[in-house]
Amino acid sequence: MPKQRSVCVFCGSRDGNSPVYAQLARQFGHEVAARNLRLVYGGGGIGLMGIAARAAREGNAEVLGIIPGFLSTEEVAFDDCQLEIVDTLHERKARMAMESAGFVVLPGGIGTMEEVVEVLSWANLGLFPMKTVFLDTNGYWDPFFALLQHSIEEGFTSASISTLTCRAKTSAEALDLLGL
Ligand code: AMP
Q: What is the pLDDT of residues 121-147, one digit of tens each?
A: 988 888 877 899 999 999 999 999 999
Q: How many residues does the chain have?
A: 180
Q: Range with the lowest mean pLDDT among 76-80, 109-113, 126-130, 171-175? A: 126-130
168: pLDDT strictly greater than 90: yes
- Nearest ligand 1 atom, CA 113: 2
- Say what the pLDDT of residue 129 is: 76
- To the question of pTM greater than 0.75 for the whole model, the response is yes
pLDDT value of residue 38: 98
Residues with CB under 6 A from ligand 1: 12-14, 42, 44, 47, 49, 71, 75, 89, 92-93, 108-112, 114-115
The predicted pLDDT at position 36 comes to: 98
pLDDT at 77 over 80: yes
In this prediction, what percent of the chain has a pLDDT beyond 90?
89
Least Cα distance to 168 among 132, 124, 114 occurs for: 132
Structural domains of the chain sorted by starting position, each given as residue range(s) with its CATH number in brackets: 3-175 (3.40.50.450)
Residues 71-86 have a mean pLDDT of: 96
Residue-level pLDDT at 126:
84
